[in-house]
Amino acid sequence: MGEHVAPTTPAKKKRSNIFWNIVGVVGELLITFAIIVGLFSVWQLYWTTYEVAGQVSQTIASYEEEHQPSKRALGEVRTDDPPAFDREVGDGEVYGLVHVPTWDWMKIPLAEGITSYVLDQGWAGHYDMTTQPGGVGNFSIAGHRRTYGNNFRWIDRLTQGDKVVVEVDDHYLVYSMVSSEIIDATDPTQMRVVAPVIDDVSWSETPTERWMTMTTCHPEYGNWQRYIVHLKFESWTPKDTGVPAELVDEPTN
């Protein structure tokens, strides 16, 4: 007796069609979702940086034009106490520049506050509860890593001894990289990294040294951790004498 195929009943055909229709709809939804996620990633990682690039360049140019050093040659290198930062700055106000020579001579506007308004302009934001540039304590700033300017994208390339220069109206401050750490974004003690005395969870210790801390998201394409860099004050240079050694070869705009 030969093999034969049992005829499919109309009910079975109907159930089969419904199943494959559902599979088709789910597949289309997944494809649509993937396209949306892809477009969002392109917007977040690339378009936002393109959007702010011109504005960032103009902000830097305006600040430099208003607060030029007397010359672009080596100025006086001083290791005594830098001038006290004694002027008021408003939320969102740009009041300096952050220079990172090892990041292909990157310059980043420095503004007051760490709100999305500040960071989404492509600026570095000052934690307003920390000391100002050059002050005793822990001058701390935050920046985006992989969106709106990619300011701190290369933070993990900073190595011990690398310099970061903070420019304010009438002088430059040179900080030297000492250490880095990675912490969980949900760590309840994470604010210790910007405490006046680094790692003082209570924020009660009295600082005696001048430090700087940079914070950003980690990993580069994520935000469930924070990458932290600590730097120590090394020297300062009055603008009326020139620029610090670290900026002598900095390209001009």
Which are the catalytic amino acids?
144, 217
Tokens 């920390």, located at residue = 130
Q: Which residues contact 241 (CB under 8 A, 6 or more apart)?
A: 69, 70, 75, 76
Burial 116-129 (b: 16+ CB within 10 A, else e): eebbbbbbbbbbee
Cα dist from 112 to 25, 90, 208, 216, 245, whole Å: 50, 7, 24, 16, 27
Tokens linked to 17: 């069609």
Tokens 């005793």, located at residue = 136
- Is 227 in contact with 215 (CB distance < 8 Å)? yes
* Dist. CA 124–CA 32, nearest whole Å: 36
Q: Which residues contact 44 (CB under 8 A, 6 or more apart)?
A: 146, 147
Residue 40 burial (C-beta neighbours within 10 Å; 0-12, 13-18, 19+): exposed
Bridge partners (DSSP) listed for residue 175: 164, 233
